[in-house]
Chain A
């Protein structure tokens, strides 16, 4: 069975691009448009990885990470932050909340796949 990845981003075009790249590489993709949407969809799927934007309306990425780590079912799911904040503080905040890694936007599909592969093998 192919691995399932959730991409969380309020920008539909980024989501589409990420999803396309991942599907081309053979992964299953679930899309969510913000943290809250992601959490509600998490209940129904078994995930291998979450890729999340940080700055989102309704529920931001940091909040999402905190919530996922609280949840028993998905406690250990790797989470990669997609972020334009190259500043370390935002990255650190994410790491403290329990993120596995990060990728700095803008990125090309190859870079995305490299990070995904790094985290879920």
Chain B
């Protein structure tokens, strides 16, 4: 169980560190922003507080000194400098290192820890010497158990009178008396004399005082500890003597009493009576205190696990996947129900079916929502990346983010991280020029990388743009020709030229830096985006810079598809790329000399016969359908027997044996239990591309 707590702590601390980083970078721009300073302080404070509780004493110690510095910053006594931010960023990195490495402390770079700590302590020392203060640096020490050493048995006479308004601090004096009683043998007397008469009594005031004779070996400090929370909200007097028996004698009793309070109301008779009893039984006696409060039940509270739900809970993403999966299947079944209901024409069934439809849709929306995270969580990481990179490369680059609140599926956000790192590295390294060159070109010295996200329909557009030098089309073309990717004579559109940079091994960087230029990257980026069913697009101009747009689906679990039929088999094509559906009759096939192209409004579009592609031998219908899709800017048709309509599907993977089957990305289960294969049209076209191109060439010769 403790491990689970630790895990939660590590997760939380990691989030806090990310938050700290964001705030620090914000602070770099607005060093005076007190709200941000408060955020930094709070992050540090929470990290320190909780790390100590989960056994990360090293982190608690480490963070303590940093927090100290920011306490002064918060009070306006120390100013934020670039050095301080650098130092704190380094400290943040060190803390996250400590989090991971604390299992194996030997691997931790203690010297770095010490170095950072010394720097922070120096800042404080500096401040103190400037202000002539002798504040010692407080070190956080984990609280240990303090076992009271056994002390000689002594008898104490205690007078305790809480202030009238004691209840307003939530204190129940009776609990304190009970605690006192637990310290040893005691005689307790309650005095109700200051309670007002019934007609003027204020029930919210406390009118009771107590006198206690206590025999204990715990010492006077233990008694004071009982009243520690209310030491300034009560009258407390403690006197001590060595011998309880002495109190029996009238004089010593009075002396003892007077030590305390001349007006003490303890009567000799009552006390001796008690003492007798006490000595007989060797057990403490107690005068019953008639209290206004309800008697406190002695029974220990039963174990009751029911509790209010917290405002947020952590759920493993597997569970959410399962939920989304089930909801997806429900969507399919519901579609089937609607279909049946529509056929029956029975108003009662129709009513139910419509209600189910409505509920299923809201359920689907909220199920998908549970997996959604704002993309800003990744954006914030890039601020640090750009900052570090520009420093390394001697450039001045600022990063602007927009639409950080745009929500995307968690899996997509996670998988988007690496591609974005590559792209942003490229922007800073290749795109943005050095300050000198920028000045010559009449641009501001500081380059800008803009990262924005927005939702458009069922997709999220992530745009990464820089105001740098842009891409040189001629250089790209020359390089591509050299690599044998294209022929020198090829006429390529701008977008086709820019698309070349995504080819494997492609780099136009004259010099390989450790940032970019190795040519591994952009092709990996493209593949990563495509594996997310996304599309990547480049626009560039040598005056305004480069813009890379990623079009991503909101979620991976459910896709909007077009359900089609070939013979008896159902297939699903992803709807996002589909542009139109047209008829293909025998005459048109003859017109194009069976060359698998069709003239659509004057434009020739090649098509792929899925029937042939999947080896379906049944007889073709007279009129077939072509589904026209836009693949990387090229229109391609897919011939099917019949288009059944739009269909929402839950993507199921095909399992190990079929994972390498070309042209199929998965399968889905239909409402009636049959299976439809989901086509990977990118894959199908890339296989057929060369083939198709040859076809077109032949056609133009004819």
Contact = CB atoms under 8 A, between A and B. Distances in A.
Contacts of B167: 76
A105 interface: yes
Interface in B688-702: none
B192 to A, nearest CB: 20
Interface in A1-34: 1-3, 10-17, 19-20, 23, 25-33
Contact of B172 (A28, A108, A121): A121
Interface residues of B, number: 55
B53 A20 contact: no
B310 A33 contact: yes
B12 to A, nearest CB: 5
Contact of A14 (B53, B145, B175, B303): B53
Nearest to A99: B169
Given A13-B50, A41-B308, A79 B302 contact: no
Nearest to B165: A98
B307 A19 contact: yes
A93 interface: no
B301 A27 contact: yes
A69 B168 CA distance: 7
B50 A11 contact: yes
Interface in A82-110: 84, 86, 95, 98-102, 104-108, 110
B7 to A, nearest CB: 9
A2 B304 contact: yes
A28 B308 CA distance: 9
A86 B138 CA distance: 10
Most B CB within 10 A of own CB, among A31, A98, A105, A110: A105
A11 B12 contact: yes
Nearest to A49: B170
A120 B5 contact: no
B49 interface: yes
Contacts of A111: 143, 145
B127 interface: no
B352 to A, nearest CB: 35
Contact of B54 (A17, A23, A41, A84): A17
A118 B225 CA distance: 11
Given A10-B46, A28-B307, A56-B42, 20 more contacts: A1-B301, A2-B303, A13-B8, A13-B9, A13-B11, A13-B54, A14-B46, A14-B50, A20-B1, A26-B302, A31-B310, A33-B310, A53-B49, A75-B168, A84-B45, A95-B169, A99-B169, A106-B142, A119-B172, A121-B178
A67 interface: no
A27 B9 CA distance: 23
B48 A33 contact: no
A76 B60 CA distance: 34
Contacts of A2: 301-304
Contacts of A75: 168, 204
B169 A31 contact: no
B168 A121 contact: no
A11 B46 CA distance: 7
Nearest to A91: B229
B42 A29 contact: no
A44 B296 CA distance: 23
B249 interface: no
Contact of A17 (B46, B53, B143, B176): B53
Contacts of A104: 143
A59 B229 CA distance: 24
A29 B304 CA distance: 9
Interface in B291-324: 296, 300-308, 310-312, 314
A120 B310 contact: no
Contacts of B170: 76-79, 98-100, 119
A75 to B, nearest CB: 7
Interface string B16-50: 00000000000000000000000001100110111
B45 A37 contact: no
B172 A120 contact: yes
